[in-house]
Chains A and B, each alone.
Chain A
């Protein structure tokens, strides 16, 4: 029930898009839709968007899985620091990274920099879940494959890859959807993709219907991605069959490959964080005419943290319902509910924001320009992140534990709380942190839906860069990266009971 309600919340923007399109088509007999879809520009947008998404996803998958393996299964030095560094790109908004690269290589624009920036920024979406999956994967399967005569690579493919594939697929889905709906970086790097085009059409009143049709095509693309991920994830039950305890594999010795391995691990953090950091530092040192108002900065930091954590809380509650359902059940209805939960992520923040404006003005005018509406937008936008984390965590807990708890006298809810929720807790918590992190960086929805007078770090950066006050934007950008680094750092902490041999 709750899962269905969550799915309903998530589909609000989609409903709006469909209503607008159908309404428009009824008025003019579908001419606008046909014209939009057959314009040569549309095909071009489609090709560019698809190519960018595919390129970024493949890069993230390769780099993310390789990084995770290096971090968990090898004797790479400074493992802890490298793990923190590999999560760092999450703290950098795509528009800040893009700004950093433009400041470093003036005039750089188009496909190549967009691919580079978005890959660097999205790689942790794959790295972090695969690190978690590798930590809990049973090394015995790989060892068995080796004993049966497989090469190390084939043994890894048959023994370990299937155990981490669900996590990698969920991460790749996040990276792909992030790319498909990114607005900040592609706008700054002037790459004409769907989001960029939609925002330009939206801002002109005549183009609104075109924008709606384009947004619908984008939703279709996102649904295809979700379907692809589900196919990879398959129907298999994934909890381990070995006896209760977990064993760690002996680390692979890197030897002479150590330095290349470290360089590989530094690739994404360098591109996403180091280069922009240097650029920001230079801007900061160069200074500007405008003096920095510390009071403004502090209040922006506080409201960013408050809005993001409230949004994360709401999102997690909604995601928990869907996550529990999809981890334990299969079927057409469940698939539909899950796909519904993922719709929001593929919609640009701009579209979600405008659809919520439309819905609130038409249905509940009291909600317009309230933080509640902003929370709702965050929930719609970030549900997929939280669902992925929740579902994966729950699926790894064997159902027999909850059944045993019930036989020992716990009621249905108490039994789940004492076993499944307790064990999946760290993973679900990580999902919430991820949502909080993303909410801090979110730009277009915050810009449109915030109550008058509420300034977050993201909106302050945007308004200052818009007026070409790059130097004035720099302190806010630094503050945002620092603030976002807190949940990013927490995300890399080893999960409580798995690593230390148990706590409390």
Chain B
């Protein structure tokens, strides 16, 4: 297993350029997520990494080997980069065993390794079933086993859980995470699902319009995004205008009062809070009015309006609040300053 380093990668189709200089690195044994809305170039990036599409500029390095760029191009079968495609794409004419052993080269290893992988994904009892006899979740597990069986340098996961229903998705996700850990695999997950990227990955790279706008730990991209687009893409936001900044106490004056912020920032214009950071205290003299409460079970989402008309969103155990109630605001943790 080894890492991936992508430097200044451009790629496109004919005159249309889709990737405009991607810089991305995945450390050995790490699971990185590339998170972006549809049409941002995720699939193209994945195809270039797998070798099904050639980059027009820049380099892709797997381990210490350049596989695309610097005048070199390694065909897919010699990259040791395997893919778990969307919806699995199992070979319909091969049974589970034959699918999993498909990529294993060294003959003495095949039987043992295949059995090991089937055990790992809990599919040993289905070894001789055909893909159409398996459920969606089972197909996906076999697809992951097939990709990991040849001990690739990197595994690429192309929205592998999007075809599964919600509760199954959660389960297969954590199974796959465990599997990747057990195999110490370097993996790159491509997805448009924030929750998936944040909960699974060691590092999240946010892809926007063919560029990586930020790469950091899941917590960092969520709590400390570089700009408003990234902040909004990763989850609901509470944005308050910065009226004044006090560097001594690291606080910012906003329409919701004085708030603690993490660190100063050049040209800061907004304070970013996440809805779960807002604490609502019922208070007849409070500065905010509850407009709407939607109950989700573990939490309730509350829409509020400040006295100056600024709309806010809060999330927490506020199922008992009623529209029209007045509340006072407090903040859990610190805010994050954004310049643009």
Does A295 touch B at the CB level, under 8 Å?
Answer: no
Of A405, A406, A418, A419, which one neighbours B75 at CB under 8 angstroms? Answer: A406
Interface hub of B79, B90, B92, B102 (most chain A Cβ within 10 A):
B92
Q: Which residues in window 155-184 of A have CB below 8 A to B? A: none
Please, which residues of chain B bring their CB within 8 A of the CB of A501? 130, 132-133
User: Contact at A406–B133, with CB atoms within 8 Å?
Assistant: no
Nearest chain B CB to A151's CB is how many angstroms away?
30
- CB 8 Å contact bits of B12-53 with A (1 = contact, 0 = none): 000000000000000000000000000000000000001110
State in angstroms the CA–CA spacing of A245 and B132 once bound together. 4
Does A401 touch B at the CB level, under 8 Å?
Answer: yes
Does A404 touch B at the CB level, under 8 Å?
Answer: yes
Q: Which residues in window 85-139 of B have CB below 8 A to A? A: 85, 87-93, 95, 102-103, 105, 130-134, 136, 139
Does A231 touch B at the CB level, under 8 Å?
Answer: no
User: Contact at A408–B139, with CB atoms within 8 Å?
Assistant: no
Given contacts A407-B82, A411-B77, A243 and B133 within 8 Å (CB-CB): no
Given contacts A243-B136, A243-B163, A409 and B77 within 8 Å (CB-CB): yes
Please, which residues of chain A bring their CB within 8 A of the CB of B210? none
Please, which residues of chain B bring their CB within 8 A of the CB of A247? 132
Given contacts A405-B102, A408-B150, A415 and B130 within 8 Å (CB-CB): no
Does B315 touch A at the CB level, under 8 Å?
Answer: no
Of B52, B150, B163, which one neighbours A406 at CB under 8 angstroms? Answer: B52
- The contact sample of 7 A-B pairs, CB cut-off 8 A, is A244-B134, A401-B89, A405-B102, A406-B76, A409-B77, A411-B75, A502-B93
Given contacts A403-B83, A501-B130, A243 and B92 within 8 Å (CB-CB): no
Does B146 touch A at the CB level, under 8 Å?
Answer: yes
State in angstroms the CA–CA spacing of A410 and B37 once bound together. 32
Of B75, B80, B103, which one neighbours A412 at CB under 8 angstroms? Answer: B75
Does A340 touch B at the CB level, under 8 Å?
Answer: no
Q: Which residues in window 380-435 of A have CB below 8 A to B? A: 398, 400-401, 403-412, 414-415, 418-419, 422-423
User: Contact at A423–B75, with CB atoms within 8 Å?
Assistant: no
User: Contact at A409–B92, with CB atoms within 8 Å?
Assistant: no
Given contacts A403-B50, A403-B83, A408-B103, A497 and B75 within 8 Å (CB-CB): no
Nearest chain B CB to A480's CB is how many angstroms away?
36
Identify the closest chain B residue to A501 (Cβ). B130
Does B327 touch A at the CB level, under 8 Å?
Answer: no
Identify the closest chain B residue to A408 (Cβ). B103
Does B9 touch A at the CB level, under 8 Å?
Answer: no
Does A246 touch B at the CB level, under 8 Å?
Answer: yes
Nearest chain B CB to A139's CB is how many angstroms away?
13
- A244-B90, A245-B131, A405-B91 known; 10 other A-B pairs, CB under 8 Å? A244-B89, A245-B92, A245-B132, A247-B132, A400-B85, A404-B91, A407-B156, A408-B150, A409-B77, A411-B77
User: Contact at B77–A423, with CB atoms within 8 Å?
Assistant: no
User: Contact at A244–B87, with CB atoms within 8 Å?
Assistant: yes
User: Contact at B92–A406, with CB atoms within 8 Å?
Assistant: no
Please, which residues of chain B bring their CB within 8 A of the CB of A415? 77
Identify the closest chain A residue to B156 (Cβ). A407
Nearest chain A CB to B285's CB is how many angstroms away?
54
Does B81 touch A at the CB level, under 8 Å?
Answer: yes
State in angstroms the CA–CA spacing of A148 and B81 once bound together. 43
State in angstroms the CA–CA spacing of A246 and B93 once bound together. 11
Nearest chain A CB to B50's CB is how many angstroms away?
5
Please, which residues of chain A bring their CB within 8 A of the CB of B52? 403, 406
**Size category, B interface:** 35 or more
Of A242, A407, A497, which one neighbours B79 at CB under 8 angstroms? Answer: A407
State in angstroms the CA–CA spacing of A88 and B132 once bound together. 32
Nearest chain A CB to B48's CB is how many angstroms away?
13
Of B81, B92, B134, B163, which one neighbours A407 at CB under 8 angstroms? Answer: B81
Nearest chain A CB to B77's CB is how many angstroms away?
5
Of A245, A408, A422, which one neighbours B134 at CB under 8 angstroms? Answer: A245
User: Contact at B75–A401, with CB atoms within 8 Å?
Assistant: no
Nearest chain B CB to A331's CB is how many angstroms away?
13
Please, which residues of chain B bring their CB within 8 A of the CB of A404? 83, 85, 89, 91
Interface hub of A246, A408, A414 (most chain B Cβ within 10 A):
A408
Please, which residues of chain A bring their CB within 8 A of the CB of B88? 243-244
Please, which residues of chain A bring their CB within 8 A of the CB of B51? 406-407
Nearest chain B CB to A112's CB is how many angstroms away?
47
Identify the closest chain B residue to A423 (Cβ). B93
Please, which residues of chain A bring their CB within 8 A of the CB of B146? 408
Nearest chain B CB to A435's CB is how many angstroms away?
24
- CB 8 Å contact bits of A237-262 with B (1 = contact, 0 = none): 00000111111000000000000000
Please, which residues of chain B bring their CB within 8 A of the CB of A401? 89, 91
Nearest chain A CB to B148's CB is how many angstroms away?
11
State in angstroms the CA–CA spacing of A419 and B75 once bound together. 18
User: Contact at A409–B103, with CB atoms within 8 Å?
Assistant: yes
User: Contact at A407–B93, with CB atoms within 8 Å?
Assistant: no
User: Contact at A423–B92, with CB atoms within 8 Å?
Assistant: yes
Please, which residues of chain A bring their CB within 8 A of the CB of B105? 409
User: Contact at A407–B50, with CB atoms within 8 Å?
Assistant: yes
User: Contact at A408–B132, with CB atoms within 8 Å?
Assistant: no
Please, which residues of chain A bring their CB within 8 A of the CB of B50? 403, 407
State in angstroms the CA–CA spacing of A114 and B257 once bound together. 93
Nearest chain A CB to B73's CB is how many angstroms away?
13
State in angstroms the CA–CA spacing of A240 and B79 once bound together. 29
User: Contact at B95–A502, with CB atoms within 8 Å?
Assistant: yes
Please, which residues of chain A bring their CB within 8 A of the CB of B133? 245, 501
Interface hub of A246, A406, A497 (most chain B Cβ within 10 A):
A406
Identify the closest chain A residue to B78 (Cβ). A409
Nearest chain A CB to B192's CB is how many angstroms away?
17
State in angstroms the CA–CA spacing of A54 and B131 once bound together. 44
Please, which residues of chain A bring their CB within 8 A of the CB of B134? 244-245
State in angstroms the CA–CA spacing of A217 and B142 once bound together. 57
Nearest chain A CB to B337's CB is how many angstroms away?
43
State in angstroms the CA–CA spacing of A403 and B77 once bound together. 9
State in angstroms the CA–CA spacing of A414 and B77 once bound together. 10
Please, which residues of chain B bring their CB within 8 A of the CB of A242? 87
User: Contact at B91–A419, with CB atoms within 8 Å?
Assistant: yes
Identify the closest chain A residue to B88 (Cβ). A244
User: Contact at A244–B83, with CB atoms within 8 Å?
Assistant: no
User: Contact at A243–B93, with CB atoms within 8 Å?
Assistant: no
State in angstroms the CA–CA spacing of A398 and B103 once bound together. 19
State in angstroms the CA–CA spacing of A247 and B105 once bound together. 33
State in angstroms the CA–CA spacing of A415 and B50 once bound together. 14
Please, which residues of chain A bring their CB within 8 A of the CB of B136? 243
Please, which residues of chain A bring their CB within 8 A of the CB of B102? 405, 408, 418
Nearest chain A CB to B90's CB is how many angstroms away?
5
Please, which residues of chain A bring their CB within 8 A of the CB of B82? 407-408
Please, which residues of chain B bring their CB within 8 A of the CB of A410? 77
User: Contact at B79–A243, with CB atoms within 8 Å?
Assistant: no
Identify the closest chain B residue to A411 (Cβ). B77
Interface hub of A404, A406, A502 (most chain B Cβ within 10 A):
A404
State in angstroms the CA–CA spacing of A244 and B129 once bound together. 13
- CB 8 Å contact bits of B54-79 with A (1 = contact, 0 = none): 00000000000000000000011111
